[in-house]
Amino acid sequence: MGLPRIYPDTESLARAAAAHFVSLAGQAVASEGRFTVALSGGSTPRPTYAQLATSELSAQVDWPGVHVFWGDERCVPPDNPDSNYGMARKTLLDHVPIPVQNIHRIRGELEPEEAAAEYELTLREFFSPAPENPAATFDLVLLGLGADGHTASLFPSAAELEEQPRWVVAHYVDKARAWRVTLTPTAINAATQVTFIVSGAGKAETMRRVLSGPHQPDLLPAQIIRPAMGSLLWLVDAAAAGLI
């Protein structure tokens, strides 16, 4: 697990994360003809998506080659304020020339299990995995970190942590009192690059436990994220890095 890159504040963190996206997108489109990215939800990535939507950075991305997915979704309609798709659409996708067919959202308006099954099928058809690499290989998975150590919608002691064969599961999150659909560790850990973006003093203690505390992934699901072949990067601001 590489050392985190620490930035002075949320603004410089957002600029760095956006530049990281632009760089990986350029490399992937040049070498593979496409860039596949799973976006994270919550509030932390908003400034990064807004930076990406600026004409300066947006102009550097070959958007017709970019395919956008999600690491997780709340089981709500796309126009619900809680929708991770809705947040990304408002902050980024409505402002860049990405073809609509390149946006592969989790249909949160469906029954949770149906949404998960449909998304898994979408991924299996899109990535059509080779036998030697039986998992969705995103070029980039962006993740956030909850103060309780969750990531995507993998929450402490969630059964999905042991879910191997499936790439997508739906489950009821007691803490959020809501259903969520999420990529499983199997799908996330098959990525070429996984990048956590973490901001704020409220995450400092969790950062310390995740990065330098005992390995206890059932309590700290972010610790189960260890790309098998890919690389793991933490982009954090000084406030979140205050205890590491």
Measured distance CA(116)–CA(33) in Å, rounded: 28
The window from 7-15, 37-45, 100-108, 112-120 that contacts ligand 6PG (CB under 6 A) reads: 37-45
The residue type of 19 is: A
48: contact with ligand 6PG by CB under 6 A: no
- Token pair 């029954």: residue: 111
Q: Which of 36, 84, 186, 223 binds ligand 6PG (CB under 6 A)?
A: 84
Contact between 42 and ligand 6PG per CB under 6 A: yes
CB of 132 to ligand 6PG, least distance (A): 30
Q: Which of 36, 83, 91, 151 binds ligand 6PG (CB under 6 A)?
A: 151
Determine if 40 is a binding residue for ligand 6PG (CB under 6 A).
yes
3-state SS of 176-193 is: CCEEEEEECHHHHCCCCE
Q: Residue 143 Cβ, how far from ligand 6PG at the closest point, in Å?
A: 6
Sheet holding 231-237, edge to edge: 5-7, 231-237, 193-198, 140-143, 35-39, 66-70
Q: Does 86 bind ligand 6PG (CB under 6 A)?
A: no
Please, which residues have CB within 8 angstroms of residue 133's CB and are 6 or more apart in sequence?
190
Q: Which residues are within 8 A (CB) of 191 and not within 5 positions of it... i.e. 6 or more apart?
A: 38, 137, 138, 139, 140, 141, 227, 230
Q: Smallest distance from the beta carbon of 84 to ligand 6PG, in angstroms?
A: 5
Interacting residues with ligand 6PG (CB under 6 A) = 40-44, 71-72, 84, 144-146, 150-153
